[in-house]
Every structure is written in structure tokens, then in C-alpha cells.
Structure 1
């Protein structure tokens, strides 16, 4: 298990004083894509998308 601290998620959403932390399995972690990767997408391409923490 790894401890993850989010840079844009907070435990107190209004005050934004303490960043959200949680433990996740090492199998849930992947490296970030390389910077500047501006590949376009075609219809039916498989992508990963995140919205509202999921």
C-alpha cells in the first residue's frame, strides 16, 4: 500500500486547509504521461478519463 496526497483535493472543501490523503494499492499507481504529449484522438480510441475523483 502507498500513501497518496492529492494536490487539488482537500479534506475540508471550503477552507482548503488540509490536503486529502488516502492509502491505495501499488497496482493502482501508474506513471504520468510524458509532458507535451498532444496526440489527437479518433472516434473509438480508448482513453483514461478522470472526473470528480473517479
Structure 2
């Protein structure tokens, strides 16, 4: 990804990015257990202070 964006990355940067990406993927793994045909999603509430 970094090469595609023409970012200069050291080996240390690559190790850190790899670690964070793997942690993110691991955190998402429990979502596999959710039924794909589960309940319909509900819209997120709108924060009136941030609404445009």
C-alpha cells in the first residue's frame, strides 16, 4: 500500500503497519459469527450539534 501511495517506509515502519493491520483484522474476526441474513440495520442517530 505504501509503495502505491509513493510513501517512503523503513523496515520499522513496515513492521508497525503490519502489526496494526493484523491487530485490526483480529479485532474484526468475531464479526464472522454474525448471520449474514440477520436483522435489518438501523440508521445511526444523528447528533443535532453536528448535523448540517
Query: Does TM-score exceed 0.5, indicating one fold?
Result: no
State TM-score, norm by structure 2.
Answer: 0.26
State TM-score, norm by structure 1.
Answer: 0.25
**Higher relative contact order, structure no. (Cα contacts within 8 Å, ≥ 6 residues apart):** 1
Which structure: larger Rg?
A: 2
**Structure with greater helix percent:** 2
**Structure with greater strand percent:** 1
